[in-house]
Structure 1
Amino acid sequence: MSEAVTRTATTSPGLLASLDPLLREWLPRQRWFAGKGRPVTGFSLVAATELLPSDGKLGLYHLLLQAHQSPAPGDCYQLLIGAREALPPRLAPALIGHVDQGPLAGRTVYEALYDPRPAEVLLEALRTRARIGGLRFERERNQEVRAGLVPRLVASEQSNSSVVYGDTFILKLLRRIVPGINPDLELPLALAREGCPRVPPPTAWIQGDFDGAGGEPYVLGVLQPFVQGAADGWELALRELAKGEDFAAEARALGRATAEVHTALARALPTVTLGRTQLEQMVEGMVERLEAAAQAVPALRPYAPGLHSAFDALAGLAAEGRTWTAQRVHGDLHLGQCLRSPAGQWWLIDFEGEPAKPLAERRMPQPTVRDIAGMLRSFDYAAHSATPPIPGWADTCRAAYCSGYAEVSGVDPRTDPVLLRACETDKAIYEVVYEARHRPEWLPVPLSAVRRLATDDGEPTAPAPLPPSPPPLISPSISPSPRRPHS
């Protein structure tokens, strides 16, 4: 086993000042930039680490930058900046700009992940468990990383970026960075050590120890096995829809996989009991989100009383003394967060949770129905993407998924209709706000669910039609989850 490599990192004074005008133009254009619509007024340098010397043919910098925006504060972003005298044509899409002052004057800077050499530097650092300045490249002791794997950037990323190495590993680099334990590393590690086969186990990861983080590390990236030939759950569902095929068997298998993950998480990490006080706080948050959404989206207002009744019913059970168990969950589960291997095995991935939520909130125990509600909404989104819609497709998938979940967990989510309705209602309200702001042509999808959920009996209504040729789907979240559209 290779020994850890440690070396001091140096950065030249004036680096940020020389990059500032270029990054103000480039950063807001990136798909993973969360502050769209608000101009960047400046940057603060959280950390800068030189990974390859700037006086060589290729310079490579790792930066953590705090972007300043108005009126709300901006976010901290992880950047890998390459510097060359001139970019070869193959790197033209990665161009950030030409530097005319400071330590990189006369050089061209670019998004380094497009370039195989910088990607190789990251893999080698993980392989050797390197320490470079405040960067720590960690690896599970019983895992080996082979040298020389050829990297390629995954082009369809959204809120993060990924590099595949020789169809063996995939490195997910987080873009929006906050200090603290990130569930995208914490939960897969816990599941791997619990022996759960439904999540690719982390092989290695990147952390940062920098001043100003209150002693907490930054989780910057996670290396996991690459599931070669796997089908994305969202894409698989759309393919079956396009062929008019039934998806019930896959939905049932996916329900079983979800239950296996939930069961393993309950074994690996503490669970808590939600009593009246905790449930009242949960309901209060749901009501606040409903009221804010009704103010923002007039189309929601006629349904607000019926939706409120879903939350009132949950509050009523809490007042009667009903309790629920809460545990760690996926936090942003939908078809796009699932992969099916060529052998038919389902995997759950991307445990980061909803990136727009604070890290502490993403790490809070939740009822498992939170995840289940997200998947049920995802079936609805997939069904509405078919032209023409296939009647009953989503209902069949929802029933099969819940049945599969019950086969493993022993508990069918439909036997707890009040909590399930409340969580699904909360999710649909979130979707209404997103679609109204970003994809108004898709607003009929969550409004169709809202009409159903606003009724006391919860019976489904006919889905609202969509335009014949909707635009390419993006994730309905303020900061979309990686690679795949979802609800």
Structure 2
Amino acid sequence: MNALTGLFRDWMPSQRWFGGKGREWAGVEEESFFLDRSHPVLSIHRVTVTYTDGATETYLVPLSWRDHAVEELALAHIGTVAHENGENHAYDAMRDREATASWLTHLADGATVGPMRFVPGEGAEIPAGLPGDIVSTEQSNTSLVYGQEAILKLFRRLEPGLNPDVEVHSALRRTDNPHIAPLLGHAEIDHDRDAGTPPATVFMLQRFVPNASDGWLLATASVRDLYAEGDLHADEVGGDFAADSERLGAATASVHADMAQVLPTEEADRDWFTTVARQMTERLDAAIEVVPQLAEHADGLRAVYAAVAENPEPVVRQRVHGDLHLGQVLRTATGWIVLDFEGEPARPLAARRELDSPMRDVAGMLRSFDYAARHMLVEQPGDQQRAYRAQEWAERNRSAFCAGYAAASGMDACGNSPLLRAFEADKAVYECVYEARNRPHWLMIPLQSLSRLTAADQRGEPRP
């Protein structure tokens, strides 16, 4: 092992974007090239981690290099590499502001540097020369904001093929949909020339949306306003969110309609319904191994999934968002913007590009309203008054979202649909596994949702 791979082995597991936390490494290899030889020097590294179970993952790690330690970059310091005249200091280049302008300079030039190709959008105005500031809330990716002009998202985990976020935004650019931030360009890198695989997407650049508010923060602020009013209902509180929820439903329907216009669609056949039901059941079985509390809901959930296999409703499959929730939308002065069309990052890229029902996105947003309503109950699980208010807020905003979606699409998206109910249940099962592994004290939120859903199903009532 050389000094550089040793640094990666020590540093990567502590990074938020690294997906192999807790897995034992069997080995690590890296390939690199220089993107910029000025000051600071900028190098790009493809780091391939092999785990003891034989699986591999490849990550993109840009490094900036300096011949002395820089105090203001102490938190970005990765380590030192000795050479015959001393040592070089390696920094996380995404946190080294002086190293961030190169991305846009090369994109504006449509350059090819080593195995990386920069692809500017047709007619896009790229603010070359601006430095970027890191967005601290990132998780599976890393983003840089360039003034008020653009935002760059670096895809840390490399997979062969065009990232769905780039693919969908590129297609939607032709529709002038008002609910997306236009794509300005992207870059790709040869993934494995010997295997003949397609290049992997390195980053995408979009127009920055200034003065925008995060959907999750707005929704949870509304919930806090409701809790603060001891004797008012959700529709009487000054921070009522229902009008925003209705507009968000309409925006979601608009994006779905334009995705169906510019990307492939297909009528769902009986095999698709059967496959969806089987996959949901398999995920439930695996989840019970992680969350034993799910066993008490298992029979009800299997009945919900079985209803999908017998579902008579016609479904047109299309490209969807794949991971839609309140944290993926921004409210501006003129309406809602939908972000991050890459789907669930933990799923293989090919699976994220599959055609699906738009109801998966609707279900994801309905689950997000439940989370927004109940997240403050975690600290006071026995407060029945708050629990009642949470249910009231969730029902009001879920209904408003559905009304907005129906008005814009002409389709009753949130009726008594077996498919929508199953998508919601499947998402809640996923949430149970996530919470059990990351925030056990939040597990009550999806478990209680499953309890309400399966109880209603057993009584033959509409979904709560």
Report the TM-score when normalising by structure 1: 0.86
* 1:310-389 pair list within 5 angstroms: 310-317=304-311, 322-341=313-332, 343-386=333-376, 388-389=386-387
Measured in 2, the distance between the counterparts of 1:350 and 1:104 equals 45
Any runs of at least 4 consecutive aligned residues in structure 1 with deviations exceeding 4 A, and if so which?
A: 458-461
| Cα shift readout 1:61-110 (whole Å, capped 9, x = no counterpart) | 11111111222513110110111112321111101011135x99611111
- Helix, strand or coil at the partner of 1:75: strand
**Is residue 430 of structure 2 the alignment partner of residue 430 of structure 1?**
yes
Match of 2:258 in 1: 264
Shift of 1:213: 5.5
Measured in 2, the distance between the counterparts of 1:50 and 1:306 equals 56
Measured in 1, the distance between the counterparts of 2:54 and 2:430 equals 21
- Partner AA of 2:280 in structure 1: M
* Change in 2 beyond 3 A, CA 1:72/1:243: farther
Measured in 2, the distance between the counterparts of 1:86 and 1:442 equals 45
Structure richer in helix, relative to its length: 2
**Is residue 108 of structure 2 the alignment partner of residue 124 of structure 1?**
no
Question: Would the aligned equivalents of 1:99 and 1:109 in 2 still touch at CA under 8 Å?
Answer: yes
Measured in 2, the distance between the counterparts of 1:255 and 1:72 equals 44
Measured in 2, the distance between the counterparts of 1:404 and 1:396 equals 12
- Partner AA of 2:48 in structure 1: Q
Unaligned runs of 5+ in 1: 1-15, 462-487
- Helix, strand or coil at the partner of 1:295: helix
Question: Would the aligned equivalents of 1:95 and 1:111 in 2 still touch at CA under 8 Å?
Answer: yes
**Is residue 201 of structure 2 the alignment partner of residue 219 of structure 1?**
yes
**What CA RMSD, in Å, does the superposition of the two structures yield over aligned residues?**
1.8
| Cα shift readout 1:279-305 (whole Å, capped 9, x = no counterpart) | 111111011111121232111111110
* Change in 2 beyond 3 A, CA 1:120/1:126: same
23, 37, 44: which is aligned to 2:8? 23
Measured in 2, the distance between the counterparts of 1:227 and 1:212 equals 40
Question: Would the aligned equivalents of 2:76 and 2:92 in 1 still touch at CA under 8 Å?
Answer: yes
193, 196, 215: which is aligned to 1:233? 215
Shift of 1:316: 2.0
| Cα shift readout 1:204-229 (whole Å, capped 9, x = no counterpart) | 11111342462411111000011011
Measured in 1, the distance between the counterparts of 2:156 and 2:402 equals 34
- Helix, strand or coil at the partner of 1:203: strand
* Change in 2 beyond 3 A, CA 1:459/1:149: same
Match of 1:192 in 2: 173
Match of 2:292 in 1: 298
Same amino acid, percent of matched pairs: 42
Question: Would the aligned equivalents of 1:35 and 1:74 in 2 still touch at CA under 8 Å?
Answer: no
Match of 1:134 in 2: 115
Question: Would the aligned equivalents of 2:375 and 2:445 in 1 still touch at CA under 8 Å?
Answer: no
Measured in 1, the distance between the counterparts of 2:43 and 2:63 equals 5
Unaligned runs of 5+ in 2: 227-238, 378-385
Moved more, 385-394 or 123-132: 385-394
Moved more, 144-153 or 199-208: 144-153
- Partner AA of 2:267 in structure 1: T
- Partner AA of 1:270 in structure 2: P
62, 67, 70: which is aligned to 1:85? 67
* Change in 2 beyond 3 A, CA 1:201/1:458: farther
* Total equivalences in the alignment: 438
